[in-house]
Homo-oligomer: A and B are copies of this chain.
Amino acid sequence: MKHPTKLTIVNDPIYGFITIPGPLIYNLIEHRYSQRLRRISQMGMSYLVYPGAHHTRFHHALGALHLMGRAVSVLRKKGVSISTEEEEALNIAILLHDIGHGPFSHAMEHSIVEGVSHEQISLFFMEALNKEYDGQLSLAIKLFKNQYHRNFFHQLISSQLDMDRMDYLKRDSFYTGVAEGAISSDRLIAMLNVKDDTLVVEEKGIYSVEKFIVARRLMYWQVYLHKTGLVAEQLLVKLLSRAKELTRNGEILPGSGPLVYFLNRDIDSDSFNEETLEIFSSLDDHDIISAMKQWMVHSDFVLKNISKMLIDRQLLKIKLQNEPFSEEKMQKKIEKLQKKYDISTHEATYFVFRGHISNQAYSMEKDTINLLTTQGKIVDVATASDQLNLKALAEEVTKYYMCYPKSDY
């Protein structure tokens, strides 16, 4: 193990400086598994809408690590005992919580590997690293899996008010320039406390929590589910699906070794083994973009055109409404496209499709945000008096979309 000799400090446009706490964390960051995250876009292809949104999973991991440090420091000042080992485990768990993300983060989560969530893959990575570092990650893994008796540790890593969310909301709002999505991580963390092994927010922080939830909601509808970003994401999924389809039909597509490996296989959580992990670990956004650039001149109509659309940013048109789109509307668009290009109905459905998106700004069902009242009681923030609007925000909102080629296509 390398021992960095001095205080390692990383510049961060958001927090100013991020200090790396100790040699193990330092080495985990230096590990090629972590370095790979430098090549994974945090927000998928959202940069096609927000040209500033090129930040990476790597930077987000450092940011979440930084916030964890602040949270530990605040909780300790309030008398919550956290041992050095527990602190390191928290740091490791938050640093690596997203290490299992594949190319373009969520966008392709179920395209490369079917039915294996990025959290599961993160766990595979942690276990591999635990072997390499002689069991030093064991406690971190326990926390990550929520198997530690002090429940609030897991809540700091994964809940509706965890360090992950705080950093990504802040970071995504910062890099997109959607200032309205900004949240005050400083204040939220300053309001944290622990009561009965449960993470709570002190009562006077209620408006900050409300603001946090509304900011999150705004980020969802304005940024994460932005119409144009949604089209790009759907096209990306369809592109991979087409590539798998062609491969399954015996076609050999150009592409990097790791990408071809995954195109050729249907891997699920059972068949995901050490070899899979190793190859997965060399896959990143560049494999996808480079493949697209090659596929732009491929003979397959679908593969070629989706690739061109994504590379040249000449995307499909999208409509959004509160009710589902009718089958007839779909058929009309499909026929129009078939008439123009002499393609099969199946091929046309790669360019004409519908779906829905939904978001629940706050969930009252699990991992609720708990308020510590001045009387010392723990209540769900949404049931605290005066928070009618939080209850309203717990309603799930669904919207329907339909995509089809622009008229000049």
Contact = CB atoms under 8 A, between A and B. Distances in A.
Among A38, A214, A312, A390, find the residue whose CB has the most chain B CB atoms closer than 10 A: A214
Interface in A185-233: 186-187, 190, 207-208, 210-211, 214-215, 217-218, 221-222
A81 interface: no
Given A177-B12, A179-B16, A290-B287, A35 B312 contact: yes
A58 interface: yes
Contacts of A132: none
A9 to B, nearest CB: 6
B7 A77 contact: yes
Interface stretch (A123-131, A143-151, A261-269, A381-389): A381-389
B293 A11 contact: no
Interface of A is mostly: helix
Nearest to A219: B207
Interface string A34-53: 01001100000001101110
A389 B386 contact: no
Given A290-B290, A313-B30, A392-B391, A211 B207 contact: no
A39 B294 CA distance: 15
Contacts of A390: 389
A380 to B, nearest CB: 16
A59 interface: yes
Given A7-B77, A11-B52, A290-B290, 9 more contacts: A13-B174, A17-B186, A38-B48, A180-B183, A180-B208, A207-B217, A286-B286, A286-B289, A322-B386
